[in-house]
Amino acid sequence: MFKKFFQRLKFKMMAKQLRRPSGMMGGKVGSMMNKANEFLYDFTLDVMQPANNDAILEIGFGNGKFFDKMFSKAEGVKITGLDFSETMLYAAKENNKEAVANGKLSLQFGSSDKLPFPDNSFDKIFCINVVYFWDEPIVHLKEMQRVLKPGGRFYATVRTKESMLKMPFTKYGFSFYESDNWKTFLNEAGLIFIEEKPVNEPVVEFEDNKISVQSLCVVAEKKL
Ligand SMILES: C[S@@+](CC[C@H](N)C(=O)[O-])C[C@H]1O[C@@H](n2cnc3c(N)ncnc32)[C@H](O)[C@@H]1O
Name the average pLDDT for the chain: 95
Task: Give bridge partners of residue 126 from the DSSP assignment.
Answer: 58, 155
Share of the chain above pLDDT 70, in %: 100
- Structure confidence by residue, pLDDT tens digits, 112-123: 999 999 999 999
**Domain boundaries along the sequence of the chain:** 2-222
14 pLDDT more than 80: yes
Which protein residue's CA is at the shortest distance from atom 4 of ligand 1?
A: 62
Could you tell me the CA-to-CA distances from 112 to 27, 142, 208 in Å, in that order? 21, 10, 35
Out of 16-30, 133-147, 197-211, least confident range: 197-211
HSE toward the beta carbon, residue 65, CA cutoff 13 A: 17
A 10 A CB-CB count for 6 gives 10
From the CA atom positions of the chain, what is the Rg in Å? Answer: 17
Q: Report pLDDT for 176.
A: 95
184 pLDDT more than 90: yes
Ligand 1: centre distance to CA 2 (Å): 32
Distance CA 147, CA 119 (A): 4
- Structure confidence by residue, pLDDT tens digits, 62-99: 999 999 999 999 999 999 999 999 999 999 999 999 99
User: How are beta strands 204-206 and 209-211 bridged, if at all?
Assistant: antiparallel
**CA quadruple 98, 100, 105, 107: dihedral sign:** positive
- Structure confidence by residue, pLDDT tens digits, 52-61: 999 999 999 9
Q: Report pLDDT for 209.
A: 80
Distance CA 76, CA 24 (A): 35
Please compute the mean of the pLDDT values over residues 178-192 and round it to a whole number: 95
Distance CA 192, CA 133 (A): 22
CB of 128 shorter than 6 A to ligand 1:
yes
Please compute the mean of the pLDDT values over residues 173-200 and round it to a whole number: 95
Which protein residue's CA is at the shortest distance from atom 14 of ligand 1?
A: 60
CB of 155 shorter than 6 A to ligand 1:
no
Reported as a pLDDT band with limits 50, 70 and 90, residue 1 is: low
Distance CA 123, CA 217 (A): 17
Distance CA 56, CA 124 (A): 5
Fold of 2-222: Rossmann fold (3.40.50)
Reported as a pLDDT band with limits 50, 70 and 90, residue 50 is: very high
CB of 26 shorter than 6 A to ligand 1:
no
CB of 100 shorter than 6 A to ligand 1:
no
CB of 143 shorter than 6 A to ligand 1:
no
Share of the chain above pLDDT 90, in %: 87
Indicate the SS3 state at residue 136. Answer: coil
